[in-house]
Copies of this chain bind each other. A is one copy, B any other.
Amino acid sequence: MSLVVAVDAMGGDHGPSVVVPAAIGFVRRHPGVHLVLVGDEATVRGLLPADADALPLQVQHASQVVGMDEPPAKALRGKKDSSMRVAIDLVAAGRAQACVSAGNTGALMATARFVLHMLPGIERPAIVRALPTLRGETHVLDLGANTECSAEQLCEFAVMGAVLVEALGKQTNPNVGLLNIGSEATKGTDTVQRAAELIRATGLNFYGYVEGDDIYAGTTDVVVCDGFVGNVALKTSEGLARMIGQVMREEFTRTPLRRLGALLSRPALQALRKRLDPRAYNGASLLGLPAPVIKSHGGADVVGFTQAIAEAAAQARAKVPQRIGERLAEFLPQTLTA
């Protein structure tokens, strides 16, 4: 049986104009995956190519759309026929094995949690994403779902992150760093210190404390932190990258001679952009749910959204949620019986 991924066709800043072309491109290149495009049927069908009937694609009508700034509780109560909700319902009904949305993060989290329920022992999803590093990539969690975390939650993040990286075949026995503000054992908050003890007791490949600069140094395969810290680290990085890009554009175009230099440096500048392209890392995962739920960046273009679909398919194929459930049960029996 082929894998089915439900795709919220209406979410994100660009909606179907990005999602539909991304979905078509994806199925053409990945024959084993079937996509269900959820959204306004007329709009979605209007964007399909002539040969759409021959593709592993299906359109599922949904009459509502969750606004990007809509309060999650309001979306959950009032929009039971939204493209986001219907996509998640398809997963709950077993008609899809994963779903992707570029819509409102809070609403996606609340809806997925309400419809799919969390894995036993997990309270709220953790948001994880791959980031490029000097050595390849690292996975950081939580990126903003849990603003205040207990030591137990940080330990759960460690388990979930390690299982994700291993299940996707990216690293065998990945090492896990706990984000702190110094590598000495006495540094950081009580919560972080207690989390270190808990993670050590799981038998994971625990590296110990890492600092902010270890993220992009690629010191560990997984970096664990609370959602406040993770969100600030991610957005600070986005801001710095934007500033550097802007300053580069200014300096490389300041004079005709510099523009000539930039022309000759084009292959280098393009390679640079490619290696650091955030689109190649698009698709954050909500971990702790019984099925892969992938959040694309709201502003993603076709290349970025395609990557988010690929992430959903890869996680479903690797049975990431099931493996996480098993490992949590093994490592954290106390959580399960709580």
Q: Smallest CB–CB gap between A145 and chain B, Å?
A: 10
* Contact B243 A216, beta carbon cutoff 8 Å: yes
Residue from A252, A255, A266 having most chain B Cβ neighbours under 10 A: A252
Residue from A232, A247, A254 having most chain B Cβ neighbours under 10 A: A232
Residue in B closest to A246 when the chains form the complex, CB atoms: B134
A271–B261 Cα gap in the complex (Å)? 13
A242–B219 Cα gap in the complex (Å)? 14
Copies in the complex: 2
Q: Smallest CB–CB gap between A245 and chain B, Å?
A: 9
* Contact A242 B271, beta carbon cutoff 8 Å: no
Residue from A215, A243, A251, A264 having most chain B Cβ neighbours under 10 A: A243
Question: Is A237 located at the chain interface by the 8 A CB criterion?
Answer: yes
Residues on A lying within 8 angstroms of B by beta carbon are 132-134, 144, 147-148, 179, 181, 187-189, 211-217, 225, 227-229, 231-244, 246-248, 251-252, 254-255, 257-258, 260-262, 264-269, 271-272, 275-276
Instruction: List the B side residues contacting A246 at CB < 8 Å.
Output: 134
A233–B251 Cα gap in the complex (Å)? 26
* Contact A251 B266, beta carbon cutoff 8 Å: no
Instruction: List the B side residues contacting A244 at CB < 8 Å.
Output: 241, 244, 272, 276
Instruction: List the B side residues contacting A132 at CB < 8 Å.
Output: 243
